Chains A and B, each alone.
Chain A
Amino acid sequence: MLATFKQKFRNWVRRRAIETGTVTLNQRRIYILPTRQGFAFAFVLVLMLLGDINYNLSLGYVLTFLLATMGGMSMLHAFRNMAQLQFTAAHAESVFAGDAAQFIVHCHNPGLLARHQIVLHDEAGHRTVFDLAPQQSLAVRLAVPAAQRGWLKPERLVLYTEFPLGLFQAWSYLYFDLCALVYPKPAAPQPLPAATAQNGAGKVEAAGDDDFAGLRGYVAGDALPRIAWKALAREQGLQVKQFHAQQGRELWLDWATLPAIADERKLEVLTRWVLDAEAQGLRYGLRLPDVELPPAQGPAHRTECLRHLALFGIGETSQ
């Protein structure tokens, strides 16, 4: 109950706070609190002060006050290490589930001060550390492992620094509308379904010498006529002949033709097929229960197919 309320509140904050364009960190956005190490330091200072009072150590007072002031002043340094930095959200490349999505945030330091040890992390604790020279820009990459297909949206990003002494933490939030599309994880390599002639009559085209593209290792289920018997005779193992796509040949990657396995597995197999078909230069179409993409070829088509596979059943295709 509380958790859902918290989540709701967070969403509300997020919706209100989403920022676009360039965000400049100013004193209204930077928060500072002592760290645990800072409290420990304060404790040590109190002990030292008690010793000074008890033993009447004038030089001890000097040391204690010097350390205390330095510790306190490090708060200003921590603030200064973050202030006036400009952040711009950039795109995030789409990735396959199981890989890490790279969220890129551009950081610009317009001032004359070098910045040290600034940490960018998301709520789940994935982090990256960067330094920034004066008047330099940097594309900060935050790698977030993508566990499952769909949209990967980091909750708000947190920037913090404990520079220079680790006694204070200055931090700030970035509410960028960052998201990365996560495609299903491609299944293990497996043969493409049979291509069909443009008229729709399914027939395996006999290979002409011109179209021969090379050999690849045999995978269970490869058609017998494609096996390279000559290669087998040369004791090169069981290999399969591969052919260039012929113009006018079309491949349908169809959800319905897949055996009865889990939906996610089906999506993984389809993803593998899309990748392979594109790699072999075939024209392919994708048929999902709710959508049908006519056969085409090229990176745009591939991306469109993968996008539908990624968002299948999620219903946020428009985002």
Chain B
Amino acid sequence: MKLTAPLTYGLIACVLLVSAPHAEHLAPWVSAVCAMLLAWRAYLTWSGNALPPRWLLLLITLACVSGIGISFRTLFGREVGVTLLILLVTLKLLELRSPRDAIVLLYLSCFIIITNFFYSQSIPTALFMQLSLLVIVTTWLHLQATALALLPRVRLAALLLAQAVPMMLLLFVLFPRVQGPLWGMPQDAYATSGLSDSMAPGSVSKLSLSDAVAFRVSFAGTPPLREQMYWRGPVLWDFDGTTWSRGRNATLHKPQLDDAEAPIDYTVTLEPHNKPWLFALEMPSQLSIPAELAPDFQLLSRTPVNARLRYNARSHLSFRANLFEPPQQMARALALPPDADSRARQLAAEWRKRTTDGTALAALALAYFNRNGFSYTLEPPALGLNSVDDFIFTTKKGFCEHYAGSFVFLMRAAGVPARVVTGYQGGEYNELGGYYIVRQSDAHAWAEIWLPQRGWVRYDPTAAISPARILSGLTAALPDNTALPFMARNPPQWLRGLRLNWDAWAYQWNQWVLGYNTERQFAFLTRLGMEDITWKKLAMNLLAGVALITGVLALLMLRRLYRRDTDAVQRRYLRFCAKLARQGMLRAPHEGAADFAARAAARFPQQAAAIHDISQRYLALRYGQRSDAASLQAFRDAVAAFKL
């Protein structure tokens, strides 16, 4: 076990591979320092110079740690931990003095791979993990088999990893899944993107630039029309002049659905977004997981959704929601901030003079948006203090949050109870997987007004401005020169097909690999025919499986041990000898083929010719220079034909 140059290069490659995926979220200076340190180490090995002295390393380490302390303002937490780990491992490369250091580095490399899973567990990440592992094991083997050349070493590493796959699968399926966490997680644990519990001008349009998947839905029956796909998220009641927020429900009343018809059953696979809300088609009535249905029909999980979550839900497309709404809630649905946006109030007051009917007022508002040159854009101009006034009378350019917000404002000002609903609208159908993909770019905001006899009714002012947004999605609704993510533009058909194909794989991957939790394990094992699963039973099955796989692998591996150097020629000849032996003609260990042939020919005169022939061929093949396939075949035939 010596620290040779190839070993050092291998270790550098390991550290480089496992920390490369982190470059995406590490501070740029950390990535730069790591790259420099790795290059320095490679140069030292290449040039054969001595490693830097300890005091210098200590100095660099101190500088790095204080750098981290300054840029993160803490030395605790996961993000900081990962950064520290990567920096220290890179520094450790410069302090490589004994084989033990090399082993420590290999172990830490494995650990860094795990930390990468905090950020991504996609299929490419998994494939990259395989590559990193191959390099790690190849380097590892170098410690134990220094004489082995690189290629056989890679082959051996691949073999070791491949042999581990069956047992890994078994453990993956049967290892009892504990519903984490075991200890509290710092909130920095999740990179989040998604709807928040407030809406200011620009917040939804910013989200629309993200191509990330919000959730995926597969319908049990016929899916609803696209324009019916309103995925309900946070309901916003309170307005402070610029921002809409959820506020607190003033009642504990259960929400009431009357005349619920057109039930639709579906399954949602929700990506983690670190917020408690769940998304469901309007209006949800049943849910397969424990969650609270708030009085405003908002689904709230008990804990923030910080892991991929799957649930079945039932919704009704036709309904009357909350025919009775308690007065406190009514008051909230009519509240407006004092003093601001006087022109909008004035406009609403004029409408109010014309009619007091909610439906008619809403129609007036929609018609207003429709006629006065409003346009739909992702890049609305900035609004001043009186944001509603500015929007309605000056800029007239806005995204859905502008329309929903000002519509609700106008309704309230006109005396109609109203609220803003945020969520997603629409979805892309994936034919391969048979499910809909709802992306962050489908984020949407709309309005609800409360009408006597009808309860809460959805009004989507965006549809009045830009029906295409609702019917065909964001891309169709925006002018061509808008800055949208590349894939949200109209990509070529094949590219779109490729993307959907990929997403179908990702969906299966998410369901079966990443989403394999306690419930799924239970369901899967039940489907395999295991009844009343207990830990004890799981453990027994696990042990039996481990024993079985080990046994089979051991058989396969050790079989080669006992195969001797009897080549094809020798094997045939031994068969020939066995045939003679059955007739009592044993070859003595010291007896040569020619001598034995003479003895056997004397004993079996009828077969003398055949015996001599076979022996001649054997001697020619084994000791002569002739070893072509034809003569081997002839020898084989001769032995097969030989009978006593």
Chain A residues within 8 Å of B, Cβ to Cβ: 37, 40-41, 44, 47-48, 50-70, 72-74, 76-77, 79-80, 83-84, 110-113, 116-117, 131, 135, 162-166
The reply to whether B185 and A111 form a contact with Cβ atoms under 8 Å apart is no
The reply to whether A73 and B565 form a contact with Cβ atoms under 8 Å apart is no
The reply to whether A55 and B185 form a contact with Cβ atoms under 8 Å apart is yes
A62 to chain B: closest CB distance in Å?
6
Q: How long is the Cα–Cα vector from A143 to B118 in the complex, in angstroms?
A: 53
Q: How long is the Cα–Cα vector from A72 to B160 in the complex, in angstroms?
A: 10
Q: B36 an interface residue at 8 Å Cβ cutoff?
A: no
B417 to chain A: closest CB distance in Å?
42
| Interface residues of chain A: helix, strand, loop or mixed (majority) | helix
Contact residues in B for A53 (Cβ distance below 8 Å): 178, 180-182
Q: B165 an interface residue at 8 Å Cβ cutoff?
A: yes
The reply to whether A66 and B141 form a contact with Cβ atoms under 8 Å apart is no
Question: Which of B42-50, B167-175, B439-447 lies at the interface?
Answer: B167-175
A165 to chain B: closest CB distance in Å?
6
The reply to whether B144 and A63 form a contact with Cβ atoms under 8 Å apart is no
B522 to chain A: closest CB distance in Å?
16
Q: Which among A74, A162, A165 has the greatest number of chain B C-beta atoms within 10 A? A: A165
Query: A-B pairs with the 9 shortest C-beta distances?
Result: A69-B164, A69-B167, A70-B164, A65-B171, A65-B168, A116-B145, A59-B121, A58-B514, A57-B117
The reply to whether B553 and A76 form a contact with Cβ atoms under 8 Å apart is yes
Question: Which of B426-434, B471-479, B554-562 lies at the interface?
Answer: B554-562
Beyond the given A55-B185, A65-B175, A66-B168, please list 4 additional residue pairs across the A-B interface where CB-CB is below 8 A.
A58-B121, A76-B550, A84-B561, A116-B148
If A62-B126, A62-B172, A113-B561 touch, whether A164 touches B156 (CB-CB below 8 Å) is yes
Chain B residues within 8 Å of A, Cβ to Cβ: 103, 107, 110-111, 113-114, 117-118, 121, 125-126, 129, 133, 137, 140-141, 143-148, 156, 160-161, 163-165, 167-168, 171-172, 175, 178, 180-183, 185, 189, 307, 513-517, 550, 553-554, 557-558, 560-565
The reply to whether B565 and A51 form a contact with Cβ atoms under 8 Å apart is no
Q: Which among A41, A56, A61, A79 has the greatest number of chain B C-beta atoms within 10 A? A: A56
Instruction: List 20 interface pairs A-B (beta carbons < 8 Å), by A numbering.
Output: A53-B180, A54-B180, A58-B514, A59-B117, A59-B121, A59-B126, A60-B117, A64-B114, A65-B172, A65-B175, A66-B161, A66-B164, A66-B165, A68-B171, A70-B163, A76-B558, A77-B557, A84-B562, A135-B565, A165-B140
The reply to whether B181 and A66 form a contact with Cβ atoms under 8 Å apart is no
Q: How long is the Cα–Cα vector from A117 to B141 in the complex, in angstroms?
A: 11
The reply to whether B185 and A165 form a contact with Cβ atoms under 8 Å apart is no
The reply to whether A80 and B557 form a contact with Cβ atoms under 8 Å apart is yes
Contact residues in A for B513 (Cβ distance below 8 Å): 58-59, 62
Minimum CB distance partner of B118 in chain A: A55
- Please tell me which one of the listed residues A64, A74, A110 contacts residue B564 in the complex, with CB atoms under 8 A apart: A110
The reply to whether A52 and B164 form a contact with Cβ atoms under 8 Å apart is no
The reply to whether A44 and B107 form a contact with Cβ atoms under 8 Å apart is yes
Q: How long is the Cα–Cα vector from A129 to B171 in the complex, in angstroms?
A: 37
Q: Which among B110, B513, B515, B554 has the greatest number of chain A C-beta atoms within 10 A? A: B110
Contact residues in B for A67 (Cβ distance below 8 Å): 110, 133, 164
Minimum CB distance partner of A26 in chain B: B561
Q: How long is the Cα–Cα vector from A61 to B111 in the complex, in angstroms?
A: 12
The reply to whether A63 and B110 form a contact with Cβ atoms under 8 Å apart is yes
Minimum CB distance partner of A115 in chain B: B145
Minimum CB distance partner of A110 in chain B: B564
A167 to chain B: closest CB distance in Å?
10
If A66-B168, A69-B168 touch, whether A112 touches B517 (CB-CB below 8 Å) is no
- Please tell me which one of the listed residues B111, B126, B144, B554 contacts residue A48 in the complex, with CB atoms under 8 A apart: B111
Q: How long is the Cα–Cα vector from A131 to B146 in the complex, in angstroms?
A: 10
Q: How long is the Cα–Cα vector from A166 to B550 in the complex, in angstroms?
A: 20
The reply to whether A61 and B514 form a contact with Cβ atoms under 8 Å apart is no
Contact residues in B for A73 (Cβ distance below 8 Å): 160, 163-164, 167, 550, 553
Q: How long is the Cα–Cα vector from A64 to B113 in the complex, in angstroms?
A: 10
